[in-house]
Amino acid sequence: MSNNLNTLSAAEAARAIREAEISSEELVKDCLERIAEVDDAVHAWTSIDSEYALEQAKQSDKQRRSGAPIGPLHGVPVGVKDIFDTKDFPTQFGSPVYKDRITTEDATAVAMLRQAGAIILGKTVTAEFACMSPGPTTNPHDVTRTPGGSSSGSAAAVAAAMVPLALGTQTNGSVIRPASYCGVVGYKPTFGLVSRHRVLRVSRNLDQVGVFARTIEDAALMAESMIGFDGRDRDTTTNPKPHLLRAVGEEPPMAPRFAFVKGPAWPMCDSATHSAFGELAGALGDRVEEVDLGSVYDEVFEWQRIVMEADLAKNFADDYLNHKDQLSPTLVEMIERGRKVHAVDYSLALDRIDMFAMAFAPMFEEFDAIITPAATGEAPVGLESTGNPAPATLWTFAGMPTMTLPLLQGEAGMPLGVQMVGARGDDQRLFRNASWLAKYLEELS
């Protein structure tokens, strides 16, 4: 193996460690060196402990040499968004209110990553309370541009080859958008597949755990390690676990057909995005068909806002009442709007979550997946905003599985993601079709 082990995919690194071609300690050292090299400009990390990371790696290598069982992520470092509780790092929610907050228990998702053998390298920057006010993170492709949010540090850390995998969350567009802006794979599973126990609660109805990776295979490897029922998160499912990793290597029984859905966010997308998706549709030929949703989903942005803001007004009530002066004006405005939501409007909005998901079921009888923009365009210049989450809103609201693939570019040469959407509960087929699409376009180029 050459130097620069930090550029290995997670699957490559896990295999090399398992076969004793490299050690976890060597891999972690290269990741730490990369962080020292570039993070003064990118600012992806909020808590990191090099000595502790190396000690974890040494113990991981010792376990492998002993012949004891090892997990699928054995020795592979991951970054964790700073809203997941971790027993060995502060969890501060991107807010001075919780500066140096220490917990003694891992979030379930973090614990399952450890069980899979992962090394918790550190905590990545989040927007304040996983909402809209950005942290200090910049886009690794152009530090004058936003990396997106709220999972900004996780997306940037993977894009900058500081770590092969990172953990994030999405309540609106907080995985799909930063993955698109930073040019990495982002995956948000079907609602309820991954536990949110001991993760900052913004909205129980909308919060979903997601992953960042540099390959589709890596996203499958990480997500499959976390999926499972957890009685401490009543929204997790007892359905059988999907075989995501297996799906990546499977050939579809026949070439898939895709529905090109512009969706309610299309008018917000820039002309370069319109052109890029026109070219993509042309490249797919008869494998894609444009499907017009009409105006029935145009109000999804208001329904999503009602649910999210009412929920965060409830969940952040103590912070608002006791620490309002330490909250950003943007968050205060969201909380105050949420406090004014009428019960009947909230109830109607909740009804539409399942209604919207069910309404798409007939489409997946004809098509294998939906293709749609992941963002309104390439990452905007400026760090005062995390960008527009609108292209992800409908699919997140409906709890459908989504993935963004770094397949296109904007006018400035910045990444532009292609978002694929699957039927709720059919994440396995989503991975199989995403893998097919990536290979098909690679062969065309």
pLDDT interval class at 350 (50, 70, 90): very high
Does the annotation mark 295 as catalytic?
no
Calculate mean pLDDT across residues 252-262.
96
* pLDDT value at residue 361: 95
Calculate mean pLDDT across residues 410-418.
97
Does the annotation mark 47 as catalytic?
no
pLDDT in tens, 306-338: 999 999 999 999 999 999 999 999 999 999 999
Amino acid letter at 39?
D
For helices 300-315 and 390-397, what crossing angle results, to 10°?
A: 80
The beta strand positions in 319-414, using DSSP E, are 369-373, 402-409
Percent of the chain with pLDDT strictly greater than 70:
100
Residue-wise over 1-19: b if at least 16 C-beta within 10 A, else e?
eeeebbebbbbbbbebbee
Question: For the chain, which domains are there?
Answer: 5-247 (3.90.1300.10)
**Is residue 412 over pLDDT 50?**
yes
Give the 3-state secondary structure of 80-91.
Answer: EECCECCCCCCC
Question: Which residue of the set 95, 152, 154, 174 is catalytic?
Answer: 174
Calculate mean pLDDT across residues 146-153.
98
**Is residue 1 over pLDDT 80?**
no
Calculate mean pLDDT across residues 173-189.
98
* pLDDT value at residue 3: 73
Question: Which residue of the set 150, 180, 203, 435 is catalytic?
Answer: 150
For residue 238, give the 3-state DSSP assignment.
coil
Does the annotation mark 203 as catalytic?
no
pLDDT in tens, 19-32: 999 999 999 999 99
Question: Which residue of the set 81, 154, 195, 203 is catalytic?
Answer: 81
pLDDT in tens, 190-235: 999 999 999 999 999 999 999 999 999 999 999 999 999 999 999 9
